[in-house]
Structure 1
Amino acid sequence: MDVFKSFKSEKEKTQSVDNFFTPSKPISSPENLRGRNEEIAKILGALTTPGMHCMIYGDRGIGKSSLALSTLEGGKEHEILPEFIFQYRCIKRTSFKDIIEKPAIFIDSSYKANKIESVKKYGARAKLLDLFSVEGSREEKIIIEKEELTANKAASTFQNLDSILLIDEFDVVSDEVKHEVAEFVKQLSDLGSPFKVLIVGIGSDGEALIAGHQSVIRCMHEIKLPRVEDKYLEEIITNGELGLSLNFTPAIKERIIEISSGFPYFTHLLCKESSEQAIRENKQTIDDEVFSKALMQAVKNTEGQLKRCYDKASTSSRTDMYPKILISAAKFNNEQFTVKQWIEQINSDHNIELTYGSMNNYTGKLTKPSRGNVLMLVRRGVYKITDPRMPSYILMCHLAGS
């Protein structure tokens, strides 16, 4: 059997797994979202309050996009939110005009041709701002060039459009674009527009996500997304078990939850690889044997950025110490730790006694790009792992023997 037939045959066996475990894409169905009822209620509250908009922020891999998409889908389904929802996922080169293009085209398709000729559009809950100058019975058509559609003009154009604009991965855009979007939101709020904006991005606080634009804070409800509680991670596993007629042993469930450390991404990844491995072997129970093979696949299939950073941090032709000290650092689970605490943890884990001088050599390197910036200096003698997902990946590598 050639590679294509082999792949097709295997995919046909395992494709049902993607209905329950989705590490590579956000969850869009409210039924598959776990442990976020409080946040859903807050988002719905903000988006149904006149003049109020919403922002979701937190760590990467915590489920921000899944929360946003599932809330909007459920809100539409239950007729709480408008029927028309526009989505835009940002990249570094994203401009303000890119972000607002979809609703602009919805109002008038000529915007795509670099201009908007104002034409009244009725029905489908779309109401275009009256851009006509009326003198008696004469109507003068006004043309808005695309380049001229500033934050203020966009707010005026969309002010009667009953819809929601989801802006995802907002953290990657420039401060200039963040300021324009913040001004756009402020103007919509001032106009009392039914057009709402939902911003999603990585950040430790909401102010950083909008580049410190203070005037928008009063009309932007901020939601910092915490890690998912263990009981809800277990629900993700149980839901997949029932849907796929598989059984994760209690010990494997516990191990998956421990590795995940509150990040649904790792729960979905480990469950997907485990389920596919079991199905390939015609097994119904995911035990140590199945999970050990799945773990190696999960390490290979983890998001590239984590892999690259860890490989840079751990690979050395001169010493095998880096993986050892990294697994000890991961034990602090994203909390800050002193060099003294780290030395003690290394001694406990590996029975290796290191001096402050030798540790300074490692810490100095692990904070540099050449070692993946895996470590950050919080203050003198105190460190923290830079990416909060990294401890989970380090633990996966350690358990897989990578």
Structure 2
Amino acid sequence: MVDELWNLRAVVTQPEEDFGKALAHVLSPSQPLQSEEFLRGREEQLDGIRKALYAPGRHVFIHGFRGVGKSSLAQTAAFSLPSAHSDPIILGCDNSNSFTRIIRDLFEEVMSRSPLVEKTIKEGGAGLNLGWLTGSAKVSTQEGKAPEPSSINEAVRLVSFLCEKYSEQLVVVIDEFDQIRDKVEQENFANFIKQLSDKRVPARFIFCGIGETVDAIMSAHGSADRYFHTVSLDRLGWDARIEIVWVAAQRLGIEIDHTTAYRIAKISDGFPHYVHLIAEKLFWRVFEAQNGGRVTGELFEAAMGDASDAMEMKLKAPYDLATRKYSNDNQYILFAVADGHELQRRSTDIFGSYVRITNALGIEALDRAKFNTRMNSLKQPSAGAILSANRTGWYEFTEKVIRGYVRLRAEQARVQLEVDHPTAKRKLGWKGEQDA
């Protein structure tokens, strides 16, 4: 039904269910993308992953700030590999996971997909060569409870078996790898990848984690770097942000102006989740307005409120905690930290932004001493530790993705922040802040 809707001139005039399906097809704020058609601004990285995986024995590690789209890139890459004969296996980590448990989860996922694998396991077919699947372990497998391998060698033999019986080119995505913090477990994964490559097992693993995690796994084994193609993912560029909005609007038959597209790009702070979420809320408002599919300033403002209300508690909670006491003072300080394009800013520059913001609002600013005290308080657990700082007076948001949420709250408060790219106006050809 969704594909048929693209032939219509205005999906926005269709029944709610049809519009909702079409909207979910072009925007995905709640789950990773899996199709190149809607992955914007990552063409170079996607091409690099494809080329890297032509080399036998190579795997991928995608790292970057939370919310920059690591999962979308990983899953899109996994689904787009031309030599893959079956859908990739997607596994997530939490802080209770271990190496053997992840391998067990991989085993169970394939068992649930492939009757052949399940039949071979239960019957103990010829060539199984999985030593720990005997006796009581085999019985537990028959009951649907897969055992964990007892060694890295057993895990390698299991994956080799899955390549033989399930998919010759098995592709596995391991997401949120940074949740595994134990150094021994990280070393197990590093050794496992080395053994897969050395023994010419054709499976390919794509890991996702924050920057510190890739350093940990590379240091866990002296030669780990030769087995990985690493991708450092940054926030989306301006063109990609605006393209997400424009393409979605075009597909839905919605008329959107340059100012609104630019505002969404600016407020999103380069995090794809925000671009998708704000656009989704805006387009629902346009649909409900039944005004012929035209974005208006009033609908945009209403959508900003919808997006703020919908933010996951992980983002709202630190902000609400930080602004619970001295709410106005602290929120203006946070707006100042999020001002401009730098992720990390000097306290002197933040104070300059704070004075500009309070002057524009006609509000009396704190003096520098009180400002510094409040800034330091925002590093404390009582304020959600929303800010971090080094000894030389440079501050940043502890979770980088919160910065985009703060910029959204500033937009709601009618506080105009500087663009988050030093050449944004010149590159995009906007007339000036008065148009944004």
TM above 0.5, yes or no, is yes
Q: Distance in 2 between matches of 1:189 and 1:212?
A: 16
- Residue in 2 that maps onto 1:302: 311
Match for residue 292 of structure 1 among 271, 285, 301: 301
Q: Distance in 1 between matches of 2:382 and 2:194?
A: 42
Displacement of 1:380: 3.1
The more displaced of 330-339 and 265-274 is 330-339
Displacement of 1:92: 1.6
Partner SS state of residue 265, structure 2: helix
Distance 1:242 1:49, change over 3 A: same
* Correspondence 1:23 to 2:24: no
Contact 1:96/1:177 (<8 A) preserved:
yes
Displacement of 1:264: 1.1
Contact 1:338/1:382 (<8 A) preserved:
yes
* Correspondence 1:119 to 2:155: no
- Residue in 2 that maps onto 1:104: 107
Q: Distance in 2 between matches of 1:274 and 1:84?
A: 33
Distance 1:398 1:129, change over 3 A: same
Q: Distance in 1 between matches of 2:210 and 2:313?
A: 17
Could you tell me which amino acid in structure 1 is paired with residue 176 of structure 2? E
Displacement of 1:287: 1.9
RMSD: 2.8
Partner SS state of residue 343, structure 2: coil
Partner SS state of residue 200, structure 1: strand
Displacement of 1:275: 0.3
Tell me the TM-score normalized by structure 1: 0.85
Q: Distance in 2 between matches of 1:99 and 1:47?
A: 22
**Aligned pair count?**
374
Distance 1:355 1:263, change over 3 A: same
Q: Distance in 2 between matches of 1:227 and 1:111?
A: 41
Match for residue 230 of structure 1 among 234, 238, 248: 238
Pairs within 5 Å for 1:175-324: 175=182, 176-204=184-212, 206-208=214-216, 212-283=220-291, 284-316=293-325, 318=326, 320-324=328-332
Percentage of identical aligned residues: 27
Displacement of 1:90: 1.1
Displacement of 1:150: 1.9
The more displaced of 210-219 and 289-298 is 210-219
Contact 1:117/1:144 (<8 A) preserved:
no
Q: Distance in 1 between matches of 2:343 and 2:106?
A: 42
- Residue in 2 that maps onto 1:32: 38
Q: Distance in 1 between matches of 2:61 and 2:136?
A: 30
Distance 1:194 1:110, change over 3 A: closer
Give per-residue Cα distances to partners, 1:293-316, cap 9 Å, x unaligned: 000010011122110011111121
Contact 1:313/1:322 (<8 A) preserved:
yes
Contact 1:327/1:398 (<8 A) preserved:
yes
Match for residue 81 of structure 1 among 84, 97, 100: 84
Displacement of 1:15: 4.0
Partner SS state of residue 306, structure 1: helix
* Correspondence 1:49 to 2:55: yes
Give per-residue Cα distances to partners, 1:163-210, cap 9 Å, x unaligned: 111101111123233222221111101112101111112225621356
Long gaps (5+) in structure 1: 1-8, 121-127, 133-140
Give per-residue Cα distances to partners, 1:101-124, cap 9 Å, x unaligned: 354343798999xx987424xxxx
Distance 1:209 1:281, change over 3 A: farther
More strand by share: 1
Displacement of 1:354: 4.0
The more displaced of 197-206 and 386-395 is 197-206
Displacement of 1:130: 4.5
Displacement of 1:36: 1.2
Could you tell me which amino acid in structure 2 is paired with residue 153 of structure 1? E
Q: Distance in 2 between matches of 1:389 and 1:292?
A: 22
Could you tell me which amino acid in structure 1 is paired with residue 229 of structure 2? H
Could you tell me which amino acid in structure 1 is paired with residue 156 of structure 2? A
Long gaps (5+) in structure 2: 1-14, 138-146, 415-436
Displacement of 1:334: 4.3
- Residue in 2 that maps onto 1:173: 180
Partner SS state of residue 285, structure 1: coil
Could you tell me which amino acid in structure 2 is paired with residue 74 of structure 1? S
Partner SS state of residue 390, structure 2: strand
